[in-house]
């Protein structure tokens, strides 16, 4: 119902917005000019921001009045997640944004009016919340107005850096002292908020997210980048079907290089750093369950046969190969764990990753069985070669008959040689690392 001021109620406005959006002729934009499309997108961003601001304002009111607790006997977060199909995390983020926006009415009205985008408003409220608690209300009000004006010039990331500038303008006498207090407060908050969470997505990928204080984060970034810089792979230049890794992929490889280095050198505490050892009764179909039992793989996690083979190949497994009705073929003949003397001889012979063009040192390499233990291969020097984790995966034999893959073998003189798949080299001519040519 329209009021004497010409305004309509919130419920009527929402109903009309919903009706209008449902009536949009999307096919009618087919003949729009480039300028019209740009203007439409710009307007839609502004209108969407106004809608988001209204949502946040309503969320703030629900929190302030405890409406969910009174009407449904549950928290606002639980009620919102249940009734809107938001995740609990998404619902909480919306309620927090609404609560913070309600503290600063000038910012709220500027956002609803379309002068400030919700992302900018979020940055502004965080800056204002970081101001000293003992500032007069009039100074806080001036700070709100100043930040709203800045929103016409700066994006959300830039606005979030303006807290010191605000104090220099509004309260220069306390700016330096307050800035030191703010930095200390932010550091302590970052320490309290540190976390690292892992989650399996059920489709062969483990995702993780976390937060660290900036000083610790920078140390991690430098370490990952240093390992990632070593991941310049000759395979990328040789094999036209090998995709060039993105920066993010190289950083992921750098992180895993750190993990492999720790596993290889047994640098981590025994609880987490010593790779599991388990007696596996192979036939192959039971291997996945054995890996789950050995905590090499999470229960219910999907994994390809190739990835499962490499997982078992890299772990310290002692297979007891069974044939027919549990008839032992050779218990202990295929001891999976490479002994100290064999490892020393292997490092002396290969002096690093044996894949041509790769210069990973022995400490960064794994002992690869040329004939896998699941095919009856033995742990002996003539059946082993040093490979970095990446190239280990490249040459790991496929269980599919006739698979066209990179392969590795030993020449009669004990030098490892690699053969490319036929789509790279029709002749499949053997290639050896240049370090063996200079020997």
Residues 6+ apart with CB under 8 A from 219: none
Distance CA 318, CA 231 (A): 31
Higher pLDDT, 368 or 283: 368
Claim to verify: residue 169 and residue 49 sit in the same structural domain? yes
Residue 27 lies in a domain: no
Residue 16 lies in a domain: no
SS3 state of residue 184? helix
End-to-end CA, the chain: 91
Residue with tokens 């040789």: 238
Q: Which of 317, 337, 357 is the last residue of a domain?
A: 337
Claim to verify: residue 175 and residue 91 sit in the same structural domain? yes
Q: Which of 287, 303, 337 is the last residue of a domain?
A: 337
Examine the pLDDT at 220 and tell me if it is beyond 80: yes
Distance CA 179, CA 66 (A): 35
Alpha carbon dihedral 100, 104, 106, 109, in 10-degree steps, equals: 30
pTM of the model: 0.48
User: Would you give the distance in Å from CA 401 to the centre of its chain?
Assistant: 35
Claim to verify: residue 47 and residue 188 sit in the same structural domain? yes
Q: What is the pLDDT of residues 322-370, one digit of tens each?
A: 333 333 323 234 456 677 788 888 889 999 999 988 888 888 888 898 9
Q: What is the mean pLDDT of residues 281-298?
A: 56
SS3 state of residue 25? coil
Q: What is the pLDDT of residue 362?
A: 87
Claim to verify: residue 121 and residue 142 sit in the same structural domain? yes
Residue 197 lies in a domain: no
Question: To which H or E segment does residue 408 belong?
Answer: strand 407-410
Claim to verify: residue 52 and residue 160 sit in the same structural domain? yes
**Residue 398: DSSP 8-state:** P
Residue 208 lies in a domain: no
Distance CA 408, CA 432 (A): 10
Question: To which H or E segment does residue 417 belong?
Answer: strand 416-419
Q: Are 150 and 121 in contact (CB under 8 A)?
A: no
Q: What is the mean pLDDT of residues 93-98?
A: 90
Distance CA 317, CA 314 (A): 8
Examine the pLDDT at 255 and tell me if it is beyond 90: no
Q: What is the mean pLDDT of residues 386-404?
A: 81
**Torsions phi, psi of 377, nearest 5?**
-70, 155
Q: What is the pLDDT of residue 434?
A: 85
Q: What is the pLDDT of residue 272?
A: 34
Claim to verify: residue 402 and residue 297 sit in the same structural domain? no
- For the record, the structure tokens of 343 come out as 């490892």
Examine the pLDDT at 319 and tell me if it is beyond 60: no
SS3 state of residue 301? coil
Nearest to 337 by CA among 349, 321, 319: 319
Higher pLDDT, 272 or 60: 60
Distance CA 136, CA 159 (A): 22
Higher pLDDT, 37 or 332: 37
Q: Which of 220-234, 276-290, 418-432 has the highest mean pLDDT?
A: 418-432
Kindly report the CA angle at 396 between 393 and 401, in degrees rounded to 5? 135
Examine the pLDDT at 110 and tell me if it is beyond 80: yes
pLDDT band for position 233 (cuts 50, 70, 90): low
Distance CA 370, CA 241 (A): 24
Residue 372 lies in a domain: yes
Residue with tokens 């063996």: 436
Examine the pLDDT at 398 and tell me if it is beyond 60: yes
Examine the pLDDT at 300 and tell me if it is beyond 90: no
User: Would you give the distance in Å from CA 195 to the centre of its chain?
Assistant: 14
Q: What is the mean pLDDT of residues 55-76?
A: 89
Q: What is the pLDDT of residue 63?
A: 92
Claim to verify: residue 47 and residue 141 sit in the same structural domain? yes
Nearest to 287 by CA among 207, 95, 278: 278
Examine the pLDDT at 32 and tell me if it is beyond 70: yes
Q: What is the pLDDT of residues 157-215, one digit of tens each?
A: 888 877 667 767 776 666 555 566 666 767 777 788 888 888 887 778 888 888 888 87
Q: Are 434 and 423 in contact (CB under 8 A)?
A: no
pLDDT band for position 232 (cuts 50, 70, 90): low
Claim to verify: residue 44 and residue 182 sit in the same structural domain? yes
Claim to verify: residue 40 and residue 170 sit in the same structural domain? yes
Nearest to 261 by CA among 389, 393, 391: 389
Residues 6+ apart with CB under 8 A from 93: none
Q: What is the pLDDT of residues 139-161, one digit of tens each?
A: 888 888 888 998 888 898 888 87
Claim to verify: residue 148 and residue 61 sit in the same structural domain? yes
Q: What is the pLDDT of residue 58?
A: 93
Q: What is the pLDDT of residue 372?
A: 84
Residue with tokens 């959006």: 21
User: For the chain, percent helix, then strand, then coil, each to nearest 5?
Assistant: 55, 10, 35
Residue 291 lies in a domain: yes
- For the record, the structure tokens of 395 come out as 């040459």
Q: What is the pLDDT of residue 301?
A: 54
Question: To which H or E segment does residue 215 belong?
Answer: helix 214-228
Q: What is the mean pLDDT of residues 81-97?
A: 88
Distance CA 171, CA 163 (A): 11
Examine the pLDDT at 286 and tell me if it is beyond 80: no
Say how many domains are in the chain: 4
Distance CA 337, CA 61 (A): 64
Higher pLDDT, 132 or 388: 388
Residue 262 lies in a domain: yes
Q: What is the pLDDT of residue 297?
A: 56
Question: To which H or E segment does residue 322 belong?
Answer: strand 316-323
Distance CA 383, CA 379 (A): 7
Q: What is the pLDDT of residues 43-58, one digit of tens each?
A: 999 999 999 999 999 9
Q: Which of 337, 357, 387 is the last residue of a domain?
A: 337
Claim to verify: residue 313 and residue 419 sit in the same structural domain? no
Distance CA 417, CA 370 (A): 11
Residue 160 lies in a domain: yes
Examine the pLDDT at 386 and tell me if it is beyond 90: yes
Examine the pLDDT at 119 and tell me if it is beyond 50: yes
Nearest to 179 by CA among 228, 130, 143: 130
Mean pLDDT computed over every residue of the chain: 77
Q: What is the pLDDT of residue 275?
A: 44
Distance CA 160, CA 120 (A): 8
Look up the domain containing 416 and give its range.
Answer: 339-439
Claim to verify: residue 366 and residue 258 sit in the same structural domain? no
């Amino acid at each position: 119902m329209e009021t004497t001021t010409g305004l309509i109620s919130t419920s009527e406005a929402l109903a009309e917005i919903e009706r209008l959006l449902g009536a949009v002729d999307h096919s009618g934009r087919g003949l729009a000019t480039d300028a019209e499309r740009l203007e439409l997108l710009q307007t839609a961003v502004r209108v969407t921001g106004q809608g988001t601001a209204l949502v946040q304002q309503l969320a703030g009111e629900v929190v302030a009045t405890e409406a969910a607790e009174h009407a449904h006997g549950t928290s606002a977060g639980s009620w919102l997640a249940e009734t809107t199909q938001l995740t609990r995390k998404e619902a909480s983020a919306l309620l927090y944004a609404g609560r913070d926006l309600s503290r600063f009415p000038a910012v709220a009205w500027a956002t609803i009016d379309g002068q400030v985008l919700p992302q900018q408003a979020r940055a502004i409220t965080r800056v204002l919340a970081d101001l000293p608690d003992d500032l007069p209300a009039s100074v806080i009000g001036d700070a709100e107005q100043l930040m709203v004006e800045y929103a016409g010039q700066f994006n959300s990331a830039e606005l979030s850096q303006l807290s010191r500038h605000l104090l220099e303008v509004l309260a220069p006498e306390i700016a330096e002292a307050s800035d030191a207090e703010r930095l200390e407060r932010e550091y302590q908050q970052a320490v309290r908020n540190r976390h690292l969470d892992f989650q399996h997505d059920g489709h062969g990928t483990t995702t993780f997210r976390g937060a660290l204080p900036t000083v610790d984060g920078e140390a991690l970034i430098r370490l990952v980048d240093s390992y990632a810089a070593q991941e310049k792979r000759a395979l990328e230049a040789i094999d036209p079907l090998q995709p060039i890794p993105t920066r993010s992929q190289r950083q992921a490889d750098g992180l895993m290089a750190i993990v492999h280095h720790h596993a290889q050198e047994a640098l981590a505490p025994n609880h987490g750093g010593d790779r599991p050892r388990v007696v596996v009764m192979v036939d192959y179909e039971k291997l996945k369950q054995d890996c789950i039992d050995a905590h090499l793989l999470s229960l219910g996690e999907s994994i390809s046969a190739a990835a499962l083979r490499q997982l078992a190949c890299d772990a310290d497994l002692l297979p007891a190969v069974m044939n027919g009705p549990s008839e032992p073929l050779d218990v202990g003949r295929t001891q999976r764990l490479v002994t100290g003397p064999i490892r020393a001889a292997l490092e002396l012979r290969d002096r690093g990753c044996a894949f041509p063009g790769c210069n990973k040192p022995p400490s960064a390499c794994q002992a690869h069985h040329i004939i896998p233990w699941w095919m009856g291969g033995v742990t002996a020097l003539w059946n082993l070669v040093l490979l970095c984790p990446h190239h280990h995966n490249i040459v790991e034999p496929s269980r599919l008959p006739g698979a066209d893959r990179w392969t590795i073998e030993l020449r009669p003189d004990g030098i490892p040689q690699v053969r490319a798949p036929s789509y790279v080299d029709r002749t499949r001519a053997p290639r050896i690392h240049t370090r063996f040519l200079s020997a």
